[in-house]
């Protein structure tokens, strides 16, 4: 089964849960993967993170103000970039001026809507 990594700041777990709910509601045959514990960014955590990201086909980053300050989430995105994975950055439409961290500079960063996420996911079913 195709796996997609979700990168989100620890403070934004409810947004991760909302994305998971959208996947379940729409019966998307993709497994979502994340590392919720970003407290200790030691070499063991970084190795585990890179291995999980490597096992995925792509990464979705949830862009919030918290993401800019989350070293763990930015490391996850950096791993995806280094592995050449497609990266989608989504931000809440209530945030009119989202500021994505530099690690998302080459990603497709768009307003969060199921239609846009589903369109991006389509590449994994071709």
Residues 111-122 have pLDDT tens digits of 999 999 999 999
pTM of the model: 0.94
Q: State residue 124's pLDDT score.
A: 86
Say whether 107 sits in a helix, a strand or coil: coil
Q: Rounded to whole angstroms, what are the CA distances from 46 to 51, 75, 116?
A: 9, 8, 30
DSSP state of 96: S
Spell out the residues 6+ positions from residue 120 whose beta carbon is closer than 8 angstroms to its own.
Answer: 58, 60, 86, 88, 108
Q: State residue 14's pLDDT score.
A: 94
Residue-wise pLDDT tens digits, 4-36: 999 999 999 999 999 999 999 999 999 999 998
Residue-wise pLDDT tens digits, 78-111: 999 999 999 999 997 776 667 899 999 999 999 9
Predicted confidence (pLDDT) at residue 38 exceeds the cutoff of 80: no
> 40 pLDDT band (50/70/90 cuts)?
confident
Q: Which of 84, 81, 89 is nearest to 8 (CA)?
A: 89
Residue-number span of the structural domain to which 47 is assigned? 3-125
Number of domains in the chain: 1
Q: State residue 114's pLDDT score.
A: 94
H or E element that contains 51: helix 43-54
- pLDDT average, residue stretch 36-63: 92
Predicted confidence (pLDDT) at residue 76 exceeds the cutoff of 90: yes
Query: What CATH number corresponds to the domain at position 7?
Result: 3.40.50.450
């Amino acid at each position: 089964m195709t796996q997609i990594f979700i990168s989100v700041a620890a403070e934004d777990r409810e947004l991760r849960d909302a994305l998971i709910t959208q996947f379940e509601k729409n019966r998307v045959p993709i497994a979502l993967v994340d590392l919720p514990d970003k407290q200790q960014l030691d070499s063991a955590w970084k190795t585990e993170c890179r291995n999980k990201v490597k096992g995925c086909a792509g990464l979705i980053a949830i862009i919030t103000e918290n993401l800019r300050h989350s070293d763990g989430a930015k490391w996850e995105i950096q791993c995806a970039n280094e592995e050449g994975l497609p990266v989608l950055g989504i931000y809440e439409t209530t945030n009119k001026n989202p500021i994505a961290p530099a690690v998302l500079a080459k990603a497709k960063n768009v307003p969060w809507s199921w239609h846009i996420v589903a369109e991006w996911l389509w590449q994994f079913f071709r």
